[in-house]
Structure 1
Amino acid sequence: MSVPPPSGIYVPAVLFFDENEDLDPKAIKQHVLRLAEGGVTGILVQGSNGEAQHLSHEERKQAIQLTRKILDENGFKDVIVIAGTGAQSTRETIKLCQDAHSAGAAFALVLTPSTWPPQMSVDNILRFHRAVADASPIPTMVYNFPVVTAGQDLDSDVIGKLAEHPNIVGCKLSCGNIGKLHRLTSRFHRNQFAVFAGRSDLLLQGLLSQSAGCIAASVNLVPKLHTKLYRLFEEGKLEEAMQLQAKLGHGDWAAGKLGGIGGIKAVVSEAFQYGTPMVRGPLKPVDGKSFVGNDYFKTVSELIELERA
């Protein structure tokens, strides 16, 4: 029986490119170190914010290796690396899990294939995830994100069946369904199957329902605030935690209105002075100058100032 990742705050890290859309190791290092110094428990490489589908197999391995090396060489050996290994075939997904293991990842986060959604019956979904878990050299986790899987939204019955597999150790719920999260946490202890909220705006609500924490995009912007909220919950300071959760909820909503992945990179570049907003097509870069006078950016900026304080 494989062991789930420890509870805490995880970040689906954006991956920085230079003006030629090649990997930018310097900016990647600056970002990884700022996240680690912010107290995150782990870094998800090639989650949806990491543009996994835009990378070659070699680039995916390179990004994992680079992240693990940066952490190890800078005193963050305990920070966990999870790799997104979703692909459109079982065969390729298994290969990506094997690559992730050789590159230094401790866990694999697996999306359900989405090219042929009419054929992805419950039986086919179960068969896919179990086959990947059977063959993966590292424990796997189920990634439920209907937005990027052609609307497929795995319910608690399906995820619960997958949780019984000895090498499937957790899930990330980017569907935002707190009822689903609670149904799973009430069936499985987080030392057996770790259920992570996939969004910052329900971090505390998830923790109150015995989640293992979160794997959320806004951690790219304010890792310290997320780890502070987690600490407040652990200390039983729920009123203070709820006040901070309200701020994170507003900030998470605002961040989502600034241009997706390109918007997150643009905010990081503007606020922390590293990296560029460059993304790989068909995504579109976001010009930080467009944030002038933008109320959503003002909300995010206020959150970042709180992070700095």
Structure 2
Amino acid sequence: MTNFDLTGVYPAMTTPFAPDGSIDHETLADDARRLEGAGVAGLVPVGSTGESATLTHDEHVAVVETVVDAVDDVPVIAGSGSNSTREALELSRRSAAVGADGLLLISPYYNKPEQEGIVEHYRTVADEVDVPQIVYNVPSRTGSNIEPATVEALASHDNIAGYKAASGDIGQISEVVERTREEEFSVLSGDDALTLPVISVGGDGVISVTGNVEPERMVALADAALGGEMDRARDLHHELGPLNRLLFAETNPIPVKAAMEIRGHSSGALRPPLTDLTAENRQALEAALDELDATREESLGLEPAEGA
């Protein structure tokens, strides 16, 4: 098993599309290199932020391969979950075969298995695919919750290395940390706005939507919090607060793709049934990004740009 430290900021990457709706692999590779250069700990393509629900399996694997080929020094953790154990196993095998260093598996959605079924689902994939895997709990999308005792049962598996916490329930997340402290197991926030609270109760970082747009600030926030510089971490947390809220004002990844377009990173195109960000929210997003741009040098301790 390939081991790596699941600590820090892992952007949940968007998938850029060309005008004809096909995947824009050149822009995808450029984006992976941009994020790597910003100091992130790793990259997470083809999760829900990557519109995996609208990709064919071949497109899914091709995105993973492009990201793997684009970067040099950071792990690539491929989204490979499904509500079908057989399909999750297929996507996991294929993602690992093209070089994914790890896997992120959403819990089975819609069919809402019992906790025993969730355990069997994850163990089946972990038994068959020998790379580190992250259990992903996001009840708002799946319709079911992975209970802390279930995470504890999974954490002892050699290939189950972490947990992405997107329940919004800090008490539950804290309990997961408590129950897994004796294992080599990472707890990562799945909500950008809860990055600081999750780290404060013993979490290890974040799988981040905001990290696509403000990777340097997210890295600085996580580094400060993990290093015990809580005043600095709180300052960054509040600087990013308006953006964090706006990126979830409509269904993810609608706002973040608009933000990527505003920043000049991609076209912002979405696949149906997702629709463009409303004019009101886009205006608010532009204002928030302008404010972050205006305070970037001071916030990150950078030298003023030449001619500024």
Aligned partners of 2:121, 2:281: CA distance in 1, in Å?
A: 46
Q: 1:238 to 1:274 in 2, by over 3 A?
A: closer
Q: In structure 2, how many angstroms separate the alpha carbons of the residues matched to 1:250 and 1:33?
A: 26
Q: 8 Å contact 1:224–1:307 — kept in the other structure?
A: no
CA contact (8 A) 1:145 1:173 kept: yes
Q: Which residue is 2:302 aligned to?
A: none
Structure 1 residues 230, 84: closer, same or farther in 2, change over 3 A?
same
Checking the alignment, whether the CA contact within 8 Å between 1:15 and 1:50 is kept in structure 2 is yes
Structure-2 residue corresponding to 1:74? none
In structure 2, relative to structure 1, the CA distance for the partners of 1:2 and 1:32 (3 Å cut) is closer
Whichever residue aligns with residue 279 of structure 1, its letter is L
TM-score, scaled relative to structure 2: 0.89
Q: Distance in 1 between matches of 2:238 and 2:183?
A: 28
Q: Provide the identity percentage.
A: 26
Contact 1:8–1:41 (Cα < 8 Å) also in 2: yes
Q: In the alignment, which residue of structure 1 is the partner of 2:303?
A: none
- AA in 2 matched with 1:104: G
2:151: which partner in 1?
A: 159
Could you tell me how far 1:178 is from its partner in structure 2?
1.7
Aligned to 1:128: 121
Deviation track 1:196-234 (CA, whole Å, cap 9, x = no partner) reads: 001111111111212110001111110000111122234
| Deviation of the 1:190 alpha carbon | 8.4
Unaligned runs of 5+ in 1: 72-76
- What secondary structure sits across from 1:172 in the alignment? strand
- Structure 2 distance, partners of 1:190, 1:97, is 27
- 2:105 alignment partner, SS class: strand
Pair 1:239–1:79, CA change in 2 (3 A): same
1:205 corresponds to which residue?
197
Aligned-residue Cα RMSD (Å) equals: 2.2
Contact 2:83 2:109 in 1 (8 A): yes
Q: Does 1:193 find its partner at 2:185?
A: yes
What amino acid sits opposite 2:267 in the alignment?
Answer: T
Q: Do the aligned partners of residues 99 and 201 (structure 1) sit closer, same or farther apart at CA in structure 2, a change above 3 Å counting?
A: same
What residue is the counterpart of 2:217 in the other structure?
225
User: When the two structures are aligned, how many residues end up with a matched partner?
Assistant: 298
- Which residue of structure 2 aligns with residue 47 of structure 1? 47
Offset, 1:3: 4.4
The 1-side partners of 2:108 and 2:282 are apart by 40
Q: Is the CA contact (8 Å cut-off) linking 1:254 and 1:297 kept in structure 2? A: no
Equivalent position amino acid for 1:80 in 2: P
Q: Secondary structure at 2:253's aligned position in 1?
A: helix
Aligned to 1:14: 14
- Structure 2 residue aligned with 1:137, among 130, 139, 151? 130
- Please report how far the alpha carbon of residue 106 of structure 1 lies from its aligned counterpart in structure 2 after TM superposition: 0.9
1:94 is the counterpart of 2:92: no
Q: 1:236 matched to which residue of 2?
A: 228
Q: Is 2:275 the partner of 1:280?
A: no
**Structure 1 CA distance for aligned equivalents of residues 268 and 223 of structure 2:** 32
The offset of 1:130, in angstroms, is 1.2
Equivalence for 1:302: 291
Instruction: Give 1:138 deviation, angstroms.
Output: 1.6
Deviation, 1:12, is 0.4
Instruction: Indicate whether 1:264 and 2:259 are aligned.
Output: no
Match of 2:160 in 1: 168
CA distance in 2 between counterparts of 1:248 and 1:282 reads 29
8 Å Cα contact 2:12-2:43 kept in structure 1: yes
Secondary structure, aligned partner of 2:76: strand
TM-score normalized by the length of structure 1: 0.89
Residue type at the aligned position of 1:204: L
Larger relative contact order (CA 8 Å, sep ≥ 6):
1
With over 3 angstroms needed to count, the CA separation of the structure-2 counterparts of 1:146 and 1:305, relative to structure 1, is farther
The CA distance in 2 between the partners of 1:37 and 1:190, in whole Å, is 33
Q: Determine the C-alpha separation between the residues in 1 that align with 2:150 and 2:220.
A: 33
**Counterpart Cα distance in 2 of 1:190 and 1:247:** 34
Counterpart contact for 2:246–2:281, Cα < 8 Å: no
Structure-2 change in CA distance of 1:184 and 1:275 (3 Å): same
Give the superposition deviation at 1:5.
3.9
Instruction: Tell whether the 8 Å contact from 1:4 to 1:191 is kept in structure 2 after alignment.
Output: no
